[in-house]
Amino acid sequence: MNLKQILEEEVFFIRWKNKYVLFIPKNGTKIIIEKNIKNIFEKCKKNLNLLNKTEKKIIKSFIAKNLYANKKKIKKGSFLPTSLTILVTDKCNLNCVYCSVKPNTIKKVIDLNIANKAVDLIIKNGKRKKEKKVFFTFSGGEPTLPWESFVNIVDYIKTESKKNNIKSEIRVNTNGVMSKKQAKWIMDNINSIILSLDGYPEIHNKQRPLKNSKDSFKIVYNNLKIFDKKKYKYIISPVITPYSVKNMKKIFNYFRKNFKNAGYFFKYFKSTGKGINLRDEKESYKLFIKNFIDLMDICRKNNIIFKFTKLDRREDPDYCALGEGMFLTPSGLISSCVEVLGNDKKLNYFIFGKYDFHKKRFLVDESRRKKYFKDKSNIPEDCKKCFAKYTCQKHCAKVNFEKTGKINKIGDKMGCDFVREQIKYQIIKKVEKL
């Protein structure tokens, strides 16, 4: 990589007040500079020979410090996951208007023997790697729907973790449609939950009705009140659509008024699955991004948990289950995506292993895993001159694949704007503390 290419692809400038922040994403370096220094770098990009002696000295000094180096090494070892996401079932008791799961899915609940073997594998890997803690997440479908299976797996995790003298953290992604008794059991046995509530009644019931088309809001709201009263650790995760985006801040204020101890994880719907039927207007997404950054700032100032794309998530294709994590489908398949359940042959690219009943163990297709790893490592041409390229992971691999046939070819460029604005906000806030 020559000097011009280094400056074009690894050195970026972000406007801050009447100055600039020089940002090197490979190692997270952030330097406040004057406009005249920025102009030297810009001149160098065009032609190094245009610089005078002083300007060349500045550039060479910069290069000598290797500010663009120190790239985090990517782990390419064996598949030894220490966290497990169990997709307990693809069944669900809601009929969300934007559901990303294929409508004609074969409804299935995971075999307990498969789930327990996966738990054994995670604990074994945790001990082998001398980890202090291993992690388990339940998702779906709605993971609490097959309640008995869900409880049995949780009990097995806790028993085996104690037996092997290793700590375990258990989390659940749920739609909150459950009985009060079940909600109380979750508080006693699960470390934390992410619960879907799309807003106040009018919005939530329109976007997330029950299977029988009746309203689901009251059930979810009442369970959230139970969690909130006991100061249980939970995050409310609304999905924002073109229908609700104009009321995004109103939704947030409604949550703050009714739930005193909530954290938040705002998401914009994906135009896949049933979501493809919703009008994905560019102006709606722009408004979502603006509102998101505003809420991000409010939560930062008020010390409220607010999930977002973190600046310090360096280049790491292990993200999305291929490194420390593992997604287990209801059929016992190992997936690299929480939304790929193995029942759509068009998405088999994301499946790289399965449980073998005859051999009584999980088999991993290393060639498929390594291909995914390699594909995810490659930075698309469109991304090479973007300051967020090592953080966003080319946005959602599944969305990219469904829209372009490749995971490293951008299928949702509006998603790029969303990530860039989050990263820009964090950079500015960090330099303000310098």
Q: Quick one: which H or E segment has residue 240? A: strand 239-240
Distance separating alpha carbons of residues 390 and 379, to the nearest angstrom: 9
Q: Which range of residues forms the domain containing residue 18? A: 3-71
Provide, rounded to the nearest whole percent, the portion of the chain with pLDDT above 70: 90
Residue 280: predicted pLDDT: 65
Q: Is residue 60 part of a domain?
A: yes
Backbone region of residue 199 per phi and psi (left: phi > 0; alpha: psi in -120 to 50; beta: other values): left
What average pLDDT does the structure give for the chain?
Answer: 87
- With beta carbons less than 8 A apart as the criterion, state whether 355 and 117 touch: yes
- With beta carbons less than 8 A apart as the criterion, state whether 244 and 292 touch: no
- With beta carbons less than 8 A apart as the criterion, state whether 11 and 44 touch: no
Distance separating alpha carbons of residues 147 and 153, to the nearest angstrom: 10
Nearest to 217 by CA among 235, 236, 234, 200: 200
Asked if residue 217 has pLDDT above 70, the reply is: yes
Count of domains forming the chain: 1
Q: What is the mean pLDDT of residues 169-189?
A: 98
Q: Is residue 16 part of a domain?
A: yes
Residue whose tokens read 């004609």: 104
Nearest to 118 by CA among 87, 140, 148: 87
Coil, helix or strand at residue 187: helix
Nearest to 376 by CA among 74, 53, 57: 74
Asked if residue 291 has pLDDT above 60, the reply is: yes
Q: Is residue 58 part of a domain?
A: yes
Residue 269 DSSP one-character state: P
pLDDT band at residue 311 using 50, 70 and 90 as cut-offs:
confident
Q: Quick one: which H or E segment has residue 89? A: strand 83-89
Asked if residue 314 has pLDDT above 50, the reply is: no
68 or 131, which is more confident:
131
By residue count, the chain amounts to: 434
Q: Is residue 44 part of a domain?
A: yes
Lowest mean pLDDT among 171-175, 221-225, 264-268, 325-329: 325-329
Taking only the tens place, the pLDDT of each residue in 132-163 is: 999 999 998 899 999 999 999 999 999 999 99
Residue 185: predicted pLDDT: 98
Half-sphere exposure of 333 (CA within 13 A, CB side): 22
Q: What is the mean pLDDT of residues 229-253?
A: 96
Residue whose tokens read 């998702």: 139
Q: Is residue 276 part of a domain?
A: no
Asked if residue 27 has pLDDT above 60, the reply is: yes
46 or 87, which is more confident:
87
Residue 278: predicted pLDDT: 73
pLDDT band at residue 318 using 50, 70 and 90 as cut-offs:
very low
Distance separating alpha carbons of residues 86 and 170, to the nearest angstrom: 11
Taking only the tens place, the pLDDT of each residue in 417-431 is: 888 999 999 999 988
Coil, helix or strand at residue 72: coil
Task: State the amino acid at position 7 in one-letter form.
Answer: L
Nearest to 426 by CA among 310, 282, 294: 310
Q: Is residue 379 part of a domain?
A: no
Half-sphere exposure of 353 (CA within 13 A, CB side): 24
Taking only the tens place, the pLDDT of each residue in 379-405 is: 888 888 888 887 776 667 888 888 888
Beta bridge partners of 264: 236, 306
Strands 234-236 and 192-195: parallel
Residue 316: predicted pLDDT: 43
Q: Is residue 18 part of a domain?
A: yes
Distance separating alpha carbons of residues 407 and 387, to the nearest angstrom: 20
Phi and psi at 308, nearest 5°, equal: -155, 175
CA angle 230, 234, 236 (to 5 degrees): 125
Nearest to 203 by CA among 297, 113, 97, 354: 97
| Neighbouring C-beta atoms of residue 210, cutoff 10 Å | 16
pTM of the complete model beyond 0.85:
yes
Asked if residue 202 has pLDDT above 60, the reply is: yes
CA angle 54, 58, 61 (to 5 degrees): 130
Residue 164: predicted pLDDT: 97
pLDDT band at residue 15 using 50, 70 and 90 as cut-offs:
very high
Q: Is residue 31 part of a domain?
A: yes
Distance separating alpha carbons of residues 266 and 272, to the nearest angstrom: 18
Residue 393: predicted pLDDT: 60
Taking only the tens place, the pLDDT of each residue in 329-375 is: 999 999 988 888 877 888 899 999 999 999 999 999 989 988 887 88
